[in-house]
Amino acid sequence: MADGTTSTSSAFGRDLRGWRVRRRWSQLELALRAGTTQRHLSFIEQGRSRPGREIVIRLAEALGLSLRERNALLLAAGYAPAFAESALNGTALGAVQAALRGILVGHMPYPAVVVRPYGQLVLANDAFGILTEGARSDLLEPPVNVLRLALHPAGAARRVENLAQWGRHIIESLRARSWKSPDPRLDAFIEELEGYVPDVEPGPDHLGFAVPLQLKCEDGELRLITTLTSFATAVDVTLAELQLEAFLPADEPSAELLRRRAASAPAHG
């Protein structure tokens, strides 16, 4: 009967090979990226050699795994996780939350949010309200998912002029993430969102689904582009999974509309 060490090595080898195949890399390519030999990597994948903690970390980094995935790979190899996972509202991330709130305020009068994986809302500035106007109340109850809110027929979707194109842009972005980091929960979420988005047949002039959001509102039509910022040097799992999504006006009329809304909004105090 195989002992615990052999069983752990075999499980780690299967996981490692799964990640390598998903990246469509040969053993030689991964070995070169991780600073080891193809022979050593072959033995690890076959469960014939138990990898040291250092090589596990190097392999995870070479594969471009997230911090959560790196921790999982370390556990599969029989080692303790290397990266902490702090509570979002805990003291460890208190300074980060304060800084993020400052960024959101500084982005006014344009909408901006901070989200967790798959669109779970963490923070938003006041301008984000333009995207929630008229949405059904249950879509605004915590935990709010900004992607579901954007594409749901009872959310912002009924005000999105280019829902088919913009919705496909969101879905294709999620598919790319799913391909890189498979997760059954993400696959189920993509399937849900697909049910909200009309089919679109790209024409001969199609340039992809990276299109500005065209949103109807009481004051006119907004055209917005988005920017995504992640925390690439984070060493905490929770922080590394946060994303700042900032909306910018695609033209001057949109910028002026947002400035007018901010100027007419009641002061907080």
Residue 269 lies in a domain: no
Query: What integer pLDDT is reported at residue 203 of this predicted model?
Result: 62
Tell me the per-residue pLDDT of 100-142, one tens digit each, with 9 for 90 and over.
999 999 999 999 999 999 999 999 999 999 999 999 999 999 9
Residue 101 lies in a domain: yes
Inter-residue contact 118 to 145 (CB < 8 Å): yes
User: Looking at 76, 99, 130, which one is the last position of a domain?
Assistant: 76
How many CB atoms within 10 Å of residue 20? 20
Do 119 and 44 fall into the same domain? no
More confident of the two residues 109 and 9: 109
pLDDT band of 1, cuts 50, 70, 90 = very low
Tell me the per-residue pLDDT of 228-250, one tens digit each, with 9 for 90 and over.
998 878 889 999 999 999 999 99
Number of domains in the chain: 2
CATH of the domain at 33: 1.10.260.40
Range of the domain at 168: 91-264
The DSSP code for 86 is: -
Q: Please name the residue ranges forming H helices in the chain.
A: 4-23, 27-34, 38-45, 53-62, 67-76, 94-106, 146-151, 163-180, 184-194, 237-240, 252-264
For residue 254, count CB atoms less than 10 angstroms from its CB and return exposed for 0-12, middle for 13-18, buried for 19 or more: buried
Taking the C-alpha atoms of residue 88 and residue 97, their distance in angstroms, rounded to an integer, is 8
User: Looking at 22, 49, 76, which one is the last position of a domain?
Assistant: 76
